[in-house]
Structure 1
Amino acid sequence: MLYRRTWSYQLFRVVNALIMLAVLAAIIIPFLNLLAISLSESWAIVGGKVGLFPIGFNLDAYFRIFQHPSIKSGFYNSFLQTGLGTAIGLFMLTICAYPLSKTFLKGRKLFILFIMFTMFFSGGLIPTYLVVKSLGLIDTIWAIVLPFCITPYYLLLVMTYFQSIPESLEESAMIDGLNPIQILWRIVIPLSKPVLAAITLFLAIYYWNNWFNAMIYLNSTEKLPVMMIVRNIVAGADLASNGGQSEVTSLSAASLKSAAIMVTTLPVVVLFPFAQKHFAQGVMLGAVKG
């Protein structure tokens, strides 16, 4: 096209490329620096000589982390918490969003208004804690999973996507004798894979990175997720319990913290490239259509 030959279009491409490179550098450079620090020798880290590439090669920080008495149970708890939370959240969002996507539902606008209200105003930490405690969920994995399985924004996103599915498909299915549950399972969900894949990724990352709720609702060390254990390592609270201060002095604290961050972010880094296509499609389609 002719407009692609104009100087304004070429300027736009250059500026756009520079912005994207700056964003990419802001993401990759800290990641590479953490990786380099986690693999470098202690003397180089203490001297501030480590940049984007490691100086020397030292895996002591990683060995120290995996020798932590709670790291195995932490990974198990995190995978269990992420799996349960993502599955329950996806199920609850789907069965709640589908009826709300129907315009003939009585009181639909009122329900949506209540949902949007919770996006801006919440009960707060203390009321939520009292509710969780009254249900007897304190110090259980359900205190981490159930109260946070439905997010209003995700619910509206899925609902908007369901509204974009032609009603003629559902009407034809009803003529063929399918009930609403069968229509949801056999027609709506297969057509909604992009947005459901995006929501799955959102939920999985949320539950995997969730350490604050574990600090509030869990009391037993063996039930803590790996992010909470890493938080204690980064804060320096668990250094003494992992060999004593005499051993810690031989290993840079920065190296230990960087290795802990790398270990816990690795599952997300591995997962994201496989889900990136559905992630982009789901966000765009769910936000625009309807």
Structure 2
Amino acid sequence: MLYRKTRGFRLFMVFNFCILTLVMLAIGFPFLHLLAVSFSESAAILGGKVTVYPIGFTIDAYLRIFDHPSIMQGFKNSLIQTVLGTSISLFMTTICAYPLSKKFLKGRKAFILIIMFTMFFSGGLIPTYLVVKSIGLIDTIWAVVLPFCITPYYLLLMMTFFQGIPESLEEAAMVDGLNPLQILFKIVIPLSKPVMAAITMFLMVYYWNNWFNSMIYLNSSKMHPVMMIVRNIVAGADLASMGSGIGQNDINTLSSASLKSAVIMVTMIPVLIVFPFAQKHFAKGVMLGAVKG
């Protein structure tokens, strides 16, 4: 659709540009500030001189992070939790959403209402903990993966997307002799790459940032993900161990603020690397899943 470049249209574009610029600055400034602090020396940080560019450039904070054994172990734990949790969640969500997308399924509306009910009401933290403990999952990786492997919102989003796939394709596949599972994996899933990419991105971010469930269900510090370690460092609980071994000559170039900022930046890297590759499918999948039905 073509718009005439009237005076009102130009004013709208100027207003829109100003609003988007303010939003971009509001989002980008904290990121740039943390990046600058992570590369700045202690005197400049304590003096409040650091804004969006480093003063007294130093990489000592990053060197200290990668010398810390808990950080590297935390990265390994987070990677395992993210890959395992995302894979299981995506598989479970897919095989649950596909049958619910079929209108001829008996009791379909009742199942959907039950799923929607769980979006607004839950058993709470204590009952969930007791259930996880009663089946022997405490202090295992399954405690932070299995109880949260299906999210109702993502299930409904994928179900809505599946409903938008023409039934004629599935009917033609059935005529060719495919069973429902073959239709799902050979026809439906290849056509659902946008919504799959969107939900995968959501799940990866969730499991990568999931420190609270680890704090509740994992007692052994050796199993803590990197975000749990970051939380302890930011709270000051683990900062002393990171600072141990710093000589007197390092005091001027390394501070708790730079350590905290460097840890936050390092843990953001995996998401920042993955997101650009999934952005196209991410936006398309969210939009299609929201309007089809």
TM-score in terms of structure 1 length: 0.97
Task: Give the corresponding residue for 1:99.
Answer: 99
Deviation by residue 1:89-130 (Cα, 9 ceiling, x = unmatched): 000000000000000000100100011111111111001101
Judging changes above 3 Å, is the alpha-carbon distance between structure 1 residues 247 and 139 closer, same or farther for their aligned structure 2 residues? farther
Selected match of 1:283 from 272, 283, 286: 286
Match for 2:270: what amino acid? P
CA distance in 1, matches of 2:184, 2:281: 20
Task: Give the corresponding residue for 2:87.
Answer: 87
Task: Give the corresponding residue for 1:181.
Answer: 181
Confirm or deny: 8 A CA contact 1:138 1:218 kept in the other structure. Answer: yes
Selected match of 1:255 from 254, 258, 280: 258
Q: Please state how far the C-alpha of 1:72 moved relative to its aligned partner.
A: 1.4
The SS at the match of 2:123 is coil
Q: Percent identity?
A: 74
Q: Please state how far the C-alpha of 1:69 moved relative to its aligned partner.
A: 2.3
Q: Please state how far the C-alpha of 1:26 moved relative to its aligned partner.
A: 1.2
Say whether residues 1:165 and 2:168 are aligned partners. no
Runs (4+) off by over 3 Å: 243-249
CA distance in 2, matches of 1:102, 1:278: 24
CA distance in 1, matches of 2:235, 2:260: 9
Say whether residues 1:15 and 2:15 are aligned partners. yes
Match for 2:255: what amino acid? S
CA distance in 2, matches of 1:192, 1:122: 30
**Aligned residues: CA RMSD:** 1.5
TM-score in terms of structure 2 length: 0.96
Equivalent residues in 2 for 1:1-290, closer than 5 Å? 3-244=3-244, 250=251, 251-290=254-293
The SS at the match of 1:53 is coil
Judging changes above 3 Å, is the alpha-carbon distance between structure 1 residues 90 and 2 closer, same or farther for their aligned structure 2 residues? closer
Confirm or deny: 8 A CA contact 1:101 1:162 kept in the other structure. Answer: yes
The SS at the match of 1:70 is helix
CA distance in 2, matches of 1:283, 1:243: 44
Q: Please state how far the C-alpha of 1:23 moved relative to its aligned partner.
A: 1.3
Q: Please state how far the C-alpha of 1:246 moved relative to its aligned partner.
A: 7.0
Match for 1:82: what amino acid? T
Confirm or deny: 8 A CA contact 1:4 1:10 kept in the other structure. Answer: no
Judging changes above 3 Å, is the alpha-carbon distance between structure 1 residues 53 and 243 closer, same or farther for their aligned structure 2 residues? closer
Q: Please state how far the C-alpha of 1:242 moved relative to its aligned partner.
A: 2.8
CA distance in 1, matches of 2:12, 2:269: 35
Unaligned runs of 5+ in 1: none
CA distance in 1, matches of 2:123, 2:6: 54
